[in-house]
A = this chain, B = another copy of it.
Amino acid sequence: MDSFFDSAGCAVIGASANPSKAGYQILANMVAAGYPGGLYPVNASGGEILGRPSRPSLDAIENEVNLVVLSAPAAATPDILAQMDRRMRKQGDIRAVVCAAAGFAEVKTPEGTAWQKSLTEFCRSRGIRLLGPNCVGVIDVNRKVDTTFIAGITHVPGGISFVSQSGAVGAWLLMNWAASPAGGVGFNKFVTVGNMADVDIIESVSYAGADPATRVLGVYVEGSAEARRLVEAAGEVARDKPVAILKVGRTDEGAQAASSHTGSLAGTDALYDGAFRQHGITRVRSVEELSDVLRAFDSLPLPAGNRVFILTQAGGPGILCVDELASAGIFQPARVSDATKSALKDCLPPIASICHPEGHADITAAAGAREHVESLEILLRDPGVDAVLFITVATLFLDLAAMARGMAEVVERLQGEGVSKPVLPAVLSGDWTRESRGILEKAGIPTFESPERAVRALAALRSYAEFRGRRPS
């Protein structure tokens, strides 16, 4: 699959000057990603698109073209195949085709099926890899490729790769990430597989798993005719790096809808559940949880144990956190030393409730930025603490930006001293907290919309740490 990401030139067939067409947005995304190769719009009507002259066909491109993105109607397939055939005979330079157009086998018409078949056979016979049809495309932030037509996304480098059987779920995730407080969550590769005429979800999972730039792998899957191979491929990745899978079709009704959507067999859900657990794969239940877990895995160290401290400035949200932590069933409250308790007492307001119950401090709304930061450092230095859940509800007394800068500084300084423990902040709430959350996220500390979501992310980190600990190396 390297050929999708490494190319000297890219032609977009069905390019358009109309910003509400995919054939425009694909070019715009390639430009926004900073594609370093030649970028060639191809359409019959000519004209300039984003400052680049359109060519009437592939034949008219003199420079090298290794990647072809198809955005023309499916009915144009015979003509496109003729162009590609001429080019392969003459220049022989096409290595990969991303077919973003729909109207192929997924519509179940004789024509659609035939077009997909001829496109697939053409590519196979020429050694060209094909993604799709009916896919949203691929992104590689590091190598500055974005063949998708998702508008309004950001290209921030990171270690997350995401492979999706649904373009819409992929778009949803990336659009949410673009709206993050830090102005974009970092990621690396993004692959939507569409009809899987050639490249399928299993190959994509294995490819991302073997990719050194991928630190964490996320997968959205509806089903596969080869469910066992899919799980084993993901499990192979999970031996070395965290994998989170959103597998839908949990219910019989959902499985039926999945089968109708991608024609895949959904498989018995309980079998997936067991197989995921056995392979150390994190199963998530929603796109929100997928996003939280991937961000946590990419930025945070795995907790060395299950002893968690809840540092909260607010009683109610702290109790929500305790409930969720207890429900997870894998944690215990961190019992800190007397020295730590005494240091907390010295640093915190007199009305703070420290270690009642154990593993919990309500530092109250009287706590300012300094108290938040100092108590966090005290807790992280206690060897009885494996992770800290940090909860703050914005008040006008609290300088949130100073707090965030202080927290980021503490976490970085302690990491320099070899004290590396996950800190999961829920800084609540509304638009007010965006600046401080942005400061934390830019410093590599992901923030969460609620204490419960932070707990679920921490549970994923801890379960994976336990899996890695059990696995004979």
Residues of A participating in the B interface, judged by any CB pair closer than 8 Å: 19-22, 25, 102-103, 106-107, 149, 151-152, 164-169, 171-172, 175-179, 220, 222, 248-254, 256-258, 260-262, 286-288, 313-320, 322-323, 325-327, 333, 350-351, 353, 356-357, 360, 362, 364-366, 393-397, 428-432, 449-450, 452
Nearest opposing residue in chain B for A260, CB measure:
B356
A55-B219 Cα distance, complex, nearest whole Å: 64
Other 19 A-B pairs with CB < 8 A, given A254-B320, A286-B320: A21-B396, A22-B397, A102-B351, A149-B395, A152-B394, A164-B316, A166-B315, A169-B314, A172-B428, A179-B432, A248-B319, A249-B319, A253-B322, A253-B333, A254-B319, A258-B319, A261-B319, A286-B450, A288-B450
Q: Given that A152-B431, A449-B288 are contacting pairs, would A326 and B397 also be in contact in the complex, using a CB cutoff of 8 Å?
A: no
Q: Inside 8 A of A350's CB, which chain B residues have their CB?
A: 107
**8 A-B contacts, Cβ less than 8 Å apart?**
A21-B396, A168-B393, A169-B317, A220-B316, A222-B315, A222-B319, A248-B323, A286-B452
| Docked CA distance A319–B222 (Å) | 8
User: Do B316 and A222 touch (CB < 8 A)?
Assistant: yes
B102, B169, B176, B288: which contacts A430 (Cβ < 8 A)?
A: B176
From B315, B357, B432, contact of A256 by CB (8 A): B357
Do B316 and A169 touch across chains, with their CB atoms under 8 A apart? yes
Q: How many chain copies?
A: 2
> When the two chains form the complex, which single residue of B103, B356, B366, B428 contacts A102, counting CB atoms closer than 8 Å?
B366
Quick check: A252 and B19 within 8 Å, CB to CB? no
- Taking a contact as CB atoms under 8 Å apart, the answer to whether A323 and B22 are in contact is no
Residues of B within 8 A of A177 (CB): 430
List B contacts of A260 (CB < 8 A): 353, 356-357, 362
Q: Say whether A20 contacts B397, CB under 8 Å.
A: yes
A22 to B398, CA, bound (A): 11
Which residue of B is nearest A74, CB measured?
A: B351
Please indicate which of the listed interface residues A172, A397, A450 has the most CB atoms of chain B within 10 Å of its own CB: A172
Residues of B within 8 A of A327 (CB): 250-251
**Contacting residues, chain B, for A449 (C-beta < 8 A):** 288
Q: Do A178 and B431 touch across chains, with their CB atoms under 8 A apart?
A: yes
Shortest distance from the beta carbon of A178 to any chain B beta carbon, whole Å: 6
Q: A428, B175: Cβ atoms under 8 Å? A: yes
Contact present for B450 and A287 (CB under 8 Å): yes
The interface residues of chain B lying within 8 Å CB-to-CB of A21 are 396-397
Contact of B168 with A316 in the complex, beta carbons under 8 Å: yes
Among B102, B172, B323, B351, contact of A251 (Cβ-Cβ < 8 Å): B323
On whether the beta carbons of B151 and A432 are closer than 8 Å, the reply is yes
- Quick one: which of B253, B365, B394 contacts A323, CB cutoff 8 A? B253
Of chain B, the residue at the smallest CB distance from A325 is B253
Q: How far is the CA of A344 from the CA of B388 in the complex (A)?
A: 53
| CB of A310, distance to nearest CB on chain B (Å) | 8
B430 contacts A179, CB within 8 Å?
A: yes
Q: How far is the CB of A274 from chain B (nearest CB, A)?
A: 18
Q: How far is the CB of A241 from chain B (nearest CB, A)?
A: 24
> In the complex the two chains form, what is the Cα distance from A84 to B455 in whole Å?
47
**Chain B residues near A222 (CB, 8 Å)?**
315-316, 319
A-B pairs with lowest CB-CB distance, top 10: A166-B316, A168-B314, A175-B430, A254-B323, A251-B326, A261-B315, A169-B316, A253-B326, A179-B430, A168-B393
Q: Which residue of B169, B251, B351, B357 contacts A253 across the interface (Cβ within 8 Å)?
A: B357
Q: Let me know if B432 and A152 touch, CB within 8 A.
A: yes
Contact partners of A325 in chain B: CB under 8 A: 253
A151 to B400, CA, bound (A): 13
Given A151-B432, A325-B253, A327-B250, answer yes or no on A316-B175 (Cβ-Cβ < 8 Å): no
Which has the most chain B C-beta neighbours within 10 Å: A166, A178, A313, A327?
Answer: A166
Q: What CA separation (Å) do A286 and B448 show in the bound complex?
A: 14
Across-interface contacts of A253 in B (CB, < 8 A): 322-323, 325-326, 333, 357
| Alpha-carbon gap, A132 to B362, bound state (A) | 19
Q: How far is the CA of A314 from the CA of B108 in the complex (A)?
A: 18
Q: Look across to chain B and name the residue whose beta carbon is closest to the beta carbon of A253.
A: B326
- List of B residues within 8 angstroms of A251 by Cβ: 322-323, 326-327
Instruction: Give chain B residues whose Cβ lies under 8 Å from the Cβ of A248.
Output: 316, 319-320, 323
> How long is the Cα–Cα vector from A104 to B302 in the complex, in angstroms?
41
